[in-house]
Amino acid sequence: MIRFVAIDLWDCSLDPVERLLRGSRQDGATLSCNLSKPEYRLLQQLLMASGTPVSRDDLTGHAWDGRPVTAGSLSNAVFNLRQAFGAEDGHKVIRTVPSQGYRIEARVLDGLALQPAIPAEGPEAPAMEQAPGATTKRPWSRGWVPALVAVALVNLGAVFWYAQLRAIPSLPQTPHRLTYEYLADIGERRFFTQVSPLPASDWTERALKAFVDYPPQRGADKHYVYLNRGDSDDELSFFLCQNSLDAAPPNCSTYVIQRDPHS
C-alpha cells in the first residue's frame, strides 16, 4: 500500500493490487477510483520523482512499458488522474512544466519503495523497480539478516495499517464531476461544453470545426459530444458518448485534437 499527501490537502492511499486510489480531504471530501494499468504506472513514476519534473517520453515509456501509443494517450491518462482530485485540485496536484513534462505536488509517506511496477500485458514482464538510490547488489556474507528483519517489519506494519483501513466504515463519497452546458446540435450530434474556462474562443471554434468536418470513425455511433479543456491551451479533448453522461453507463470514448504549433 502506497500512502502520500497531495498538495497538503489530500491524504491518499494507492492499492497496487487492485489499483484503487482513495483519498480524503481536510474539508471532508473523498475520492475513490480504480486506475487502469497505464494510469497506475504513471502515478507511480510521478510519485517516485515527487517534486521533480518527469519528461513526457519517460512517462509514456514507463506507463505503457515501451509499447507504441497515440500522441494523446499520455494526455488522456493525466487528465483522468487529475479528475480524480476534482477539476480545481487536479491541476494543482499534477502540474504541467513547460518543455519538461509533469510534476506531482505530493509527499510520499509509506510503501512506494516496496511496490513493484504492474506487469505489462504480454509474454514478458518487466523486472521489479527499485527506489532511486537503492543499492543493486550487496555482499551475501553480511547485512542480509538486518535487511530481512527490516522488510518483515515494514510489511507487517503495512498489513496492520491496511487492516485498520478496511475496518473503518466507508465515508460518504463526494463525486467530482465536470459541469457542462448545452452548446448546439450539429448534424446528428448534440454538443456540450465544459463550464470551466476553455482556451481562446478562436482555437476552440477551429477545433470544433475540425471535429465536425473530420469526425472520428470509431465514434460514429455516439451522438453526445462533451468538449473539455485539454492538458494545455493547445489541446482539446472530446468525450464521445452513446448516451448522456447522466445515463449509467454513458459508454464514452475520448478523442483529442491538438493545435499545430506552426499554425
Across the chain, mean pLDDT equals 75
Quick one: 98 and 193 in the same domain?
no
Rg (CA), the chain: 21
Task: Supply the range of the domain harboring residue 72.
Answer: 2-121
Number of domains in the chain: 2
Last residue of a domain, one of 70, 103, 121: 121
- Evaluate whether residue 73 is within a structural domain: yes
Say which CATH number the domain at 49 has. Answer: 1.10.10.10
The whole model's pTM is what?
Answer: 0.48
Residues 115 and 222 in one domain: no
Give the model confidence (pLDDT) of 97-132 as tens digits. 999 999 999 999 987 754 444 444 444 334 333 334
pLDDT of residue 169: 44
197 and 102 within one domain = no
Q: What end-to-end distance do the CA atoms of the chain give, in Å?
A: 46
CA distance 171 to 176: 15
Residue-wise burial string across 53-75, b where 16 or more C-beta atoms lie within 10 A, e elsewhere: bbebeebbebbbbeeeeeebbbb
Q: Considering 121, 138, 155, which residue would you say is the last residue of a domain?
A: 121
Question: Does any domain span residue 172?
Answer: no
Q: Is the same domain home to 112 and 219? A: no
Question: What pLDDT sits at residue 66?
Answer: 84
Q: Going by C-beta distance under 8 Å and a sequence separation of 6 or more, which residues neighbour residue 216?
A: 240, 255
Structural domain contains residue 185: yes
Tell me what percent of the residues of the chain surpass a pLDDT of 90.
31
29-48 pLDDT, tens digit per residue, is 999 999 999 999 999 999 99
Say which range, 2-16, 118-132, 188-202, has the weakest mean pLDDT: 118-132
Statement to judge: residues 112 and 197 lie in one domain: no
